[in-house]
Structure 1
Amino acid sequence: MGTIKIRNIRVYAYHGCLIEEGKIGSDYRVDLTVKANLSKSAITDSLSDTVDYVHLNKIVKEEMAVRSKLLEQVAQRILDRILAEIPLVNKVDVAVSKLNPPIGGNVAMVTIEMSKRRKE
């Protein structure tokens, strides 16, 4: 088993419950951790035998582009797509952070974290 981490994927998106958030948008950060069997790719040195982090990044950017009221829904879509599209992944953790959220105060970010494991 191995771990691939992608940290600080920066995206500008339009999530939130407020109408203004859908018009103005804001900065987001996404962090991913995927668990997969990396032993074959360690031997073959072949991209086809591992989890392509370009594919992971593409999934994140595409799902972040779909407006949602709640970050939980965005995170769930990311989890579902990774497990559906990348069979080598056994488990995925995602953290979606809204930077400088409009919650009345000096708050750097609000983060939701979710995980999903492939059903055996």
Structure 2
Amino acid sequence: MCIMAGPDVIHLRGLDFYAFHGVLPEEQRLGQRFTVDLDLYLDLQKAGSSDEVKDTVNYGDVYLTVKECAESGPVNLLEHLAERIAQRVLERFACLEVRVEVHKAQAPVPGIFRDIAVEIRRKKDGIRREKKR
């Protein structure tokens, strides 16, 4: 008998997208590269036993969802982009929780740095639903 210690995790690392996000007009006009790291927390026991794709999350579908979020209309803040990704992933996939990290290597910040990043965690029951009109 196997007892699950906690949710299992699927990691998607280094998802790169060219997009037009940022507060400055130049950022939204010229665009730049953004990198997303994603952790999906879910129960993988059934997939581990069955060896069937239907019992897990399709990584390609997750990638396309993140791509859709990252490359759709520009946003000012990394925080907003991370929230957009988290909500969409939780709505579309059978995960309990998601961790989203969005990196911006060319942030308009004085100084020498590798990148600026925002990390958020959201749980399925805590996602914000858009109001229907």
- In structure 1, the partner of 2:77 is 70
Give the TM-score taking structure 2 as reference length: 0.85
Asked which structure has the greater CA Rg, the reply is 2
- In structure 2, the partner of 1:119 is 125
For residues 46-91 of structure 1, the C-alpha deviation after alignment (integer angstroms, 9 at most, x for no partner) is 11110111111111111011210111111111111111111x2000
For residues 9-63 of structure 1, the C-alpha deviation after alignment (integer angstroms, 9 at most, x for no partner) is 1111110010000111111110000110101111111111101111111111110
Percent of pairs with identical residues: 32
2:106 and 2:79 map into 1 onto residues whose CA distance is: 18
State the secondary structure of the residue aligned to 2:69. Answer: helix
Q: Give 1:47-86 correspondences, 5 Å limit.
A: 47-66=53-72, 67-86=74-93
What's the RMSD between the two structures over aligned residues? 1.2
Q: How many aligned positions are there?
A: 119
Structure 2 unaligned segments of length 5 or more: list them: 1-6, 127-133
Q: Give 1:1-120 correspondences, 5 Å limit.
A: 1-66=7-72, 67-86=74-93, 88-119=94-125
Structure 1 unaligned segments of length 5 or more: list them: none
Give the TM-score taking structure 1 as reference length: 0.94
